[in-house]
Structure 1
């Protein structure tokens, strides 16, 4: 296991510069969405977890923490675990320069290039730890235009990705209170999220028996929702899957250490 701290340069070829218009971003999302090639899914079908673990022996997770003092600086954490044992195999943090401002609904344009660069660096430096599926702290197709940051990361890496969000984004007639009420009133620990357009957008999960707040899972790229739900349940020791929890922890620690160094200087 290793952890270190390097600097990443934001690659605007994955998005647009600060001068791009919202209309250009929408057009890009619509064009990229066509490349997801989503297949219809039967929710009553069974998923063989053993087969999933064979297909995805290494689970990766990425998360990003903003710098407290610099608006366009952030720290990316990446963690890779054994899918069977959830043993941590590798983790690393990067300092990333962000050039695109945050606009609601377009988080991928700000953060996805930094996440993509981190995974590409891992593939180059430690290919033996390159994950077979990646958990992304954010939304996949559970998004106003069906193309959240998990889709953007997966598409450009050509890697199966799962969006795991800690807060709910109201889309397609769904709202947070309605979803939580339905989830709490049923016996199952997960609820399919079907919008007013009758499209399956994702799932709300109570990830283990002691969790009171749901997480929201959606397809990012090259994986089905039932597969994603089963992998998330398997990977959750606490509220969020271990790959994301660890990536979040190390990125926050990197941001904290950077703040301490600045205060001491």
Structure 2
């Protein structure tokens, strides 16, 4: 799959859609989805990792942890690493006020503004650590309407993003039990996810030989699926890619400190 960067328009992360209802959010997702311009991709090709490291020398990870007592407060973890060596270059948490409640299928409208603000703050404060690609704890096009939080973050920032989810949403007839069975039977580390529509929505990955539960990778914005898969595999020391795993750790630590 590929994209048309010229057609991308920045997602307004301000008050225009924060106060909107579910019907308006659905319409916005459908509108924004057109700017992804996804095209077929040959998944049998081999990715040149050195070229990938050159294109994306710094890789970021984003995760968010809600406050234990206050529903409208959360802590964003942002980690920047060398994509090749996985050396940590930047590690910070940001306290955020969430403007909307959680509605299934619309997580981006609750969390994306906080994630976007954290990345924009990095660009102002330490631009030499600004990443060329972001891993977002959430979904990209592997989403009921094809536009998850990773898409929302990427389109707003005009930055390549990859959605990495720990669980599978109910999308286009995909069945988690069947996927787990198939990937184990095939003896492969990853398998593409074809929905009832026969479109490739993402991939299920077993991060390493010891992992039994797959993670789910999908395109967020301005990156090909094979590139996303290879970057995620490279950054996985455990089940979850290191940039997201560390971002999750530091956001949880911030939440615990403020709770105590």
Pairwise TM-score range, normalised by the shorter structure: over 0.9
Whole-Å separation in 2 of the counterparts to 1:32 and 1:191 = 27
Indicate yes or no: 2:224 matched with 1:224.
Answer: yes
Cα distance in structure 1, aligned partners of 2:190 and 2:112:
27
Instruction: Report the TM-score when normalising by structure 1.
Output: 0.92
- Contact 2:13 2:156 (8 Å CA) reproduced: no
Shift in Å at residue 49 of structure 1? Answer: 1.0
Does 2:24 align with 1:16? Answer: no
1:73 aligns with 2:73: yes
Contact 2:18–2:109 under 8 Å retained in 1: no
SS at the partner of 1:181? helix
1:200 aligned residue: 200
Structure 1: which 5+ residue stretches go unaligned? Answer: 1-10, 261-265
SS at match of 2:164: strand
**Which residue in 2 is equivalent to 1:110?**
110
Rounded Cα–Cα distance in structure 2 between residues aligned with 1:221 and 1:62 = 15
CA–CA separation in structure 1 for the residues paired with 2:171 and 2:188 = 23
8 Å CA contact 1:14–1:113 kept in 2: the answer is no
Q: What is the 5 A alignment of 1:47-66? A: 47-66=47-66
- Structure 1 residue 15: Cα displacement: 6.2
Residue by residue over 1:144-165, the C-alpha shift from the partner in whole angstroms, topping out at 9 and shown as x without a partner, is 0000000000000000000000
Write the distance in 2 (CA, Å) between the matches of 1:233 and 1:241: 8
Aligned to 1:240: 240
The aligned counterpart of 1:160 is 160
> Where do residues 46-195 of structure 1 align in structure 2 (5 Å cutoff)?
46-195=46-195
SS at match of 1:43: coil
Alpha-carbon shift at residue 213 of structure 1 (Å): 1.1
Evaluate the alpha carbon distance shift between residue 15 and residue 217 of structure 1 in structure 2; reply closer, same or farther with a 3 A threshold. farther
Contact 1:155 1:221 in 2 (8 A): yes
SS of residue matched to 1:258: helix
Judge conservation of contact 1:15–1:113 (CA < 8 Å) in 2: no
Q: Aligned in 2, Cα 1:115/1:15: closer, same or farther, shift over 3 Å?
A: farther
| Counterpart secondary structure, 1:169 | coil
Aligned counterparts of 2:199 and 2:108: Cα–Cα separation in 1: 22
Higher mean C-alpha displacement, 43-52 vs 76-85: 43-52
Question: Quick one: distance in 2 between partners of 1:46 and 1:104?
Answer: 36
Structure 1 SS opposite 2:64: strand
Distance in structure 2 (CA, Å) of the matches to 1:46 and 1:14: 43
Distance in 1, matches of 2:185 and 2:15, equals 42
Q: Is the 1:169–1:175 Cα contact (8 Å) retained in structure 2?
A: no
Give the drift of 1:39. Answer: 2.1
> What is the CA–CA distance in structure 2 between the aligned matches of 1:139 and 1:85, rounded to whole Å?
26
CA distance in structure 1 between the partners assigned to 2:176 and 2:210 by the alignment: 20
Please report the TM-score for the alignment, with normalisation by the length of structure 2.
Answer: 0.94
- Residue 14 of structure 1: how far off its partner (Å): 6.9
